[in-house]
Amino acid sequence: MSEKELRDILFQKLKDIVKSPYLIETEVPVPYKHIYIPTDGETKLEIWCFKQDITIYKILFDKTVKQKDSKVMKEAKTLIEVVLEKDSGQNSHHAGLPFVILELKKGQPNTHEILTYSQKAEMIKTIFPYCQFLFLILGDVSARSYRHGINFDQVISLKNPNDDDEIKGLKKILKEHFNIAKTRLKQLTETNRKRKIKSKGAANPSLPKT
């Protein structure tokens, strides 16, 4: 079984675990890096994406958005031109705001692969700090996956993708991490909301009562 076959089997078994406005799909382009490039005209913001095996997400950019369709504007003036850097293979998918990412490997990966995936997880989490990054290995998991996968939220061992009990357990894990991601996002936005309220209160103190 190839990793693509494993991905497609798992997707068919997992595709009903979320409801709108959330989506679950394969090969979703997820931003991992933002680069601001000043030019003589407007500043360019390059958004670079990784394709993920299976992702629970909301739409960031619709798949109809081309490389230079988006802009940050004030009135009629373009302040920042947004360049969505994705290859032609990613144009058939929406770019995603990830809640849970499930990366798959057939068999135990070597140390270099684990470090590479862990760095990828770190880069994505820098932009989406609430995102949960899960690393699934078809087969046994060696100790090095835990030693070097420091940015994985969970390492999962799957023996048989056609085993109903294992799939049931995998669904439970995904739902748990999906709820963790939503809770963390709520905490982040709640913190920002409180800061705004506090800032407004400091700028406009109420008059003392007489």
Distance, in Å, from the CA atom of 184 to the CA atom of 182, rounded to the nearest integer, reads 5
- pLDDT given at position 77: 75
The secondary structure element, H or E, covering residue 123 is helix 111-127
Distance, in Å, from the CA atom of 93 to the CA atom of 59, rounded to the nearest integer, reads 10
Residue 119 burial (CB count, 10 A): 13
Q: Higher model confidence: residue 207 or residue 74?
A: 74
**Tens-digit pLDDT profile for residues 130-184:** 999 999 999 999 999 999 999 999 999 999 999 999 999 999 999 999 999 999 9
Q: Is the full-model pTM beyond 0.95? A: no
**Tens-digit pLDDT profile for residues 99-128:** 999 999 999 999 999 999 999 999 999 999
- pLDDT given at position 177: 98
Assess contact for 108 and 126: CB atoms under 8 A. Answer: no
Distances (CA, A) of 147 to 114, 119, 135: 9, 13, 13
Distance, in Å, from the CA atom of 59 to the CA atom of 54, rounded to the nearest integer, reads 14
How, if at all, do strands 77-85 and 154-158 pair? unpaired
- pLDDT given at position 3: 92
- pLDDT given at position 198: 65
